[in-house]
Structure 1
């Protein structure tokens, strides 16, 4: 089915965007910074691909899963979407890892007075 690879990339990106929205990790925390980071990643990897194509290292290959649309010689449309997905996925994973590290580094907040987290008095209990 033509375009199946592009559909898979878009569905995967929607899943990562859902996680991002739920935990406000990247684009839902700072949309402009996330957009700039993803754009820089896409530009960097497109330049990398162009160099690879020019030196004969990267070849498009032939797959019925591609749309058949090329944005350049040996550069299918799906590659651009994949690079955007890769950059966004990396950004979300990095933000999630930083949040975990920050939470582990900071002490937990004290329990609220009257909450169930406060230990019961041990007065009158034997040890």
Structure 2
């Protein structure tokens, strides 16, 4: 038995957990909802695999990197870990895009106060710093410069 492929799946899965924990992207943002979404995703793909196995479209490979442990005939343990990895990767990427690309107010980081690189504390919440609230239609535009000079 060789566990190389399983280890190659578990290491990046662990890295994604650390990334999720650091930025609170998916499971660490809302554990209950995250576990439900992850469980449904894994169940759908596992059902898909079981149907494909039952219809003869899919079978267990004989690679040297596989552990040899099967959950069911033609369903290696690595397949379950891969499905979990795939679903978790998708949701962490969704969280990253929502947080750092789209920059929606709902995706704003809320951090607990704690030490930073300079030793100070910070709490980040609310809209992004570059957010400027829209001006209402009746509000006149001012041409005043900073410092009071016009």
Q: Same-fold call, TM > 0.5?
A: yes
Runs (4+) of structure 1 moved beyond 6 Å? Answer: none
As a proportion of its length, which structure holds more helix?
1
Aligned to 1:43: 43
How far residue 120 of structure 1 moved from its aligned partner, in angstroms, is 7.0
How far residue 59 of structure 1 moved from its aligned partner, in angstroms, is 1.6
How far residue 21 of structure 1 moved from its aligned partner, in angstroms, is 1.2
Aligned to 2:23: 23
Deviation string, structure 1 residues 70-92 (Cα, Å, up to 9, x no partner): 01111101101111111111111
TM-align CA RMSD: 2.3
Aligned to 1:3: 3
How many residue pairs match? The answer is 114
Aligned to 1:90: 90
TM-score scaled by length of structure 1: 0.79
Aligned to 2:102: 101
The whole-number CA distance in structure 2 between the counterparts of 1:11 and 1:24 is 19
How far residue 103 of structure 1 moved from its aligned partner, in angstroms, is 3.9
Aligned to 2:62: 62
The whole-number CA distance in structure 2 between the counterparts of 1:3 and 1:109 is 50
Structure 2 segments unaligned to the other structure (5+ residues): 106-126, 133-144
The whole-number CA distance in structure 2 between the counterparts of 1:45 and 1:109 is 40
The whole-number CA distance in structure 1 between the counterparts of 2:6 and 2:36 is 23
